[in-house]
A and B are shown apart, each in its own frame.
Chain A
Amino acid sequence: MSNGFPRAGFRNTPDTAVVPFYLYAAISFLISTILLMLSTESFMQHYFSPQLLAITHGMALGWGTMIILGASHQLVPVLTEKPLYSIKLAHISFFLAAAGIPLLVVGFYTFNMGWPAKWGGRLILLAVIAYLVNIFKSTKTGKDGNIYSLFIVTAACWLFITAFLGLVLVYNFTYPFLPKEVLTYLPLHAHAGILGWFLLLIIGVGSRLIPMFLISKFQDNRRLRLIYFLINGGLVYYLLSYYFHFPYPVLISGFTIAAALSLFIQFIFRVWQSRIRKKVDRPMRISLLSVAMMLLPLFILLAVSAYRISGGQHSRLVLIYGFLIFFGWITSLILGMTFKTLPFIIWNKCYHDKAGLVKTPDPKALLSDRLFMAMGVSYITGFLVFALGIFCGYTRLLQAGAAALIMAAVFYNLNVFKIWMHKPMV
């Protein structure tokens, strides 16, 4: 220990920069599952349809991105060892995104690429810029920075690229200026978001938080750096191949990403093996399940590429691919991590002044175990049945799967709002 009592101050992120994102995401999840039920017929057709674009953006932005933005305001200081730069910017990014997402989703659903989609896209891009500035300013760079900062900053940059490309595509509907049709550019926009934003951020945050939650001393920064370069390398190769016509873009990028994922899964396995905390709670187990679920869409992608599947079969596999990513991997991760983080945020707010003075309830007591179990069962049922429905092209299965997913979203919302409305018991 150094001399005496060295001072080390810190400032925690207030819950107002986090909780609104969680609540917004919960409602978006419910609306997206209802849209899923109303659009089951679209899953029998080509993947490029107004309803599917609306659901995809509801899930990717309203659900996945909103909760990740909120959680990252809370977690970035833990990862980068620097307080969040601006609470005001966090609020601004919330209000801009909260206004922009419904406009964009309605624009897609009604296929009105005029003012709703354009204003939706503009507001979302501004929200992303506010987030990007906040993250840049909250992160140590250069020699002082750590590997987690690198993941987070790069992910935020990919989010900006995704939002920018998205807005360009929206404008192209009314003022066509791109040399090729929209479908050609859609995979660029989608994969910048899926791999650059979601995958990079989830791996960066997960590689720090999972060892923390399991109390494991396993650390391997070299492996994390390799994962970082494999993901970014694969993604950049894929994007540049559109311009430079590199050979086998999907296959080569797919294998690069597969290598990164297998390294990450090995990393998590080593963390698991060396953990001190043997008892793992349910939210953590669901989060770990999502790590394995990362592989499912990748198998589909490699199958499409390796066997050169085309026509109706190709379109169906693309639908399954998207469903596995947004309703599988990302949703399972959020379902788990919400109940690993939100009860503590609310507990901290309610019992900050009482801890150490009187006996306080366990933060885990803020959530309902029964609702959590009901959510888990309906989610897994809905996910499997709907995926089977897409694969078989059978409407009844799609409807049954969507109904179970609506139930999962209802249970999730009930639990989230129960935690949020918790009143101090002592």
Chain B
Amino acid sequence: MNIISNHSINATIALAALEQVMDPEIGLNVVDLGLIYQLDFDKQGHRIYVSMTLTTQFCPMGETLTAAVKRALERTFGDQEIIVELCFDPPWTQERISEQGKLFLNQ
């Protein structure tokens, strides 16, 4: 799991919010699953850009997950516009799952 961000404090807050968004099939949150690639906060504090992926392109849960990520951040950063974009370069692999995530899946 390697998440790029230009604002470490805001990124920590955002990731805490995103840990509440679960992939319903796997039962693991999108952060530990390694779906979040990048979190950027504009200097004026108006917008948050999220670059995320899915375990597979055209994942049937894709639209729901991206909408859930947007809503979770809207709840935390109410006054800012949230822009979520999907990225498949590089594609998601199992290596992106966090150690905690692997422990959960190993149970």
Contacts and interface: CB of A to CB of B under 8 A. Distances in A.
Nearest to B70: A356
B81 to A, nearest CB: 14
A347 B24 contact: yes
A20 interface: no
Contacts of A216: 94
B85 A5 contact: yes
B105 interface: yes
Interface in A244-280: 276-279
Contact of B87 (A6, A215, A217, A363): A6
A362 interface: yes
A345 interface: yes
Contacts of B89: 1-2, 6
B79 interface: no
Interface in B30-48: 37-38
Interface string A1-35: 11011111110110000000000000000000000
Interface string A85-109: 0000000000000000000000000
Contacts of B38: 1, 5
B105 A355 contact: no
Bin chain A's interface residue count: 35 or more
A344 B24 CA distance: 8
Given A276-B102, A352-B63, A355-B68, A362 B24 contact: yes
A348 B71 CA distance: 16
Contacts of B21: 355-356
Nearest to B90: A1
Contact of B58 (A81, A213, A278, A356): A81
A348 B64 contact: yes
A1 B75 CA distance: 28
A212 interface: yes
Contacts of B86: 7-10
Contacts of B61: 344, 348
Contact of A278 (B49, B59, B64, B106): B106
B72 interface: yes
Interface in B57-107: 57-65, 67-72, 75, 83, 85-90, 93-94, 97, 102, 105-107
B65 A355 contact: yes
Contacts of B90: 1
Interface in A346-362: 347-348, 351-353, 355-357, 360, 362
A355 B67 contact: yes
Contacts of A302: none
B9 interface: no
Interface string B15-37: 00000110011110000000001
A362 B22 CA distance: 10
A81 B89 CA distance: 14
Nearest to A6: B87
Given A5-B51, A356-B72, A10 B62 contact: yes
B60 to A, nearest CB: 6
29 contacts: A1-B38, A5-B85, A6-B85, A8-B57, A8-B86, A9-B86, A10-B57, A10-B58, A10-B62, A12-B63, A13-B60, A78-B56, A81-B58, A212-B55, A213-B25, A278-B106, A344-B24, A344-B60, A345-B60, A348-B60, A348-B64, A352-B63, A353-B67, A355-B67, A355-B68, A356-B67, A357-B68, A357-B75, A362-B27
Given A6-B85, A78-B59, A345-B60, 6 more contacts: A2-B89, A5-B83, A5-B85, A6-B87, A216-B94, A279-B107
